[in-house]
Amino acid sequence: MNDQHRIVSSESEELILVDRADNEVGFVSKADAHDGAGILHRAFSLFLFNDKGELLVQQRAPGKRLWGGYWSNSCCSHPRRGESMQIATSRRLLDELNIEAELEYVYHFCYEAHFGDAGSENELCHVYLGKATEPVQPNDSEIAAIRFVSTVDLDTELADYPERFTPWFKQEWEALQKNYREQLGRYCDQT
């Protein structure tokens, strides 16, 4: 099957439940983790930049249960039961973007975001930075569109149209710019 159309996730895959200190406390299906107010589970968000220092952003596929059609960071997902973060992030880069990339861990945080009656995110999310040095070929079962955007243009878009972006992306980008400027500066110009 063509890698740009294959189904790479399901509501039945088992995610890792954690406490607020990121200790594993159990496992639950992806569906159950996102029902109602959600159950705190481990996740990750990846921010990939090209050689010009532009951020790869993706528009989530419209069929996604939560925030379908919204713009977000380069790649985000969850480690599955038994997966390390390194294995999960590598798997997901291949699943969604058909690329490999070296990643630098930056920080983690807990957040909750509700998406009407469809469910919620309740995640302890690990945030990584990296370079996209290979041609990106998005999997259209996960991604509707991609583009590279300068940090200046991204900041303008986030200020003018915040409703177009996922809640975790907005929180993470603000934290990266405010608290992790040195690490972020290795990947992009923060003018």
The string of pLDDT tens digits covering residues 45-82 is 999 999 999 999 999 999 888 889 999 999 999 999 99
123 is catalytic: yes
14 is catalytic: no
pLDDT, tens digit (0-9, with 9 covering 90-100), for 108-162: 999 999 888 888 889 999 999 999 999 999 998 899 999 999 999 999 999 999 9
Global pTM reads 0.93
φ, ψ of residue 28 in degrees (nearest 5): -155, 155
Tell me which of 154 and 1 has the higher pLDDT.
154
Quick: pLDDT tens for 8-29: 465 568 999 999 999 999 999 9
Q: Would you kindly state where each structural domain of the chain is located, as residue ranges? A: 14-185
* pLDDT at 2 (0 to 100): 43
* Res. 1 pLDDT band, cuts 50 70 90: very low
Q: Of 140, 65, 66, 67, which Cα lies nearest the Cα of 98?
A: 140
Res. 36 pLDDT band, cuts 50 70 90? confident
Please pick, among 54, 83, 123, 172, the residue that the annotation labels catalytic. Answer: 123
Q: Which CATH number among 3.30.420.40, 3.40.50.410, 3.90.79.10, 2.40.160.60 corresponds to the domain 14-185?
A: 3.90.79.10
> Which residue of the set 14, 75, 76, 142 is catalytic?
76
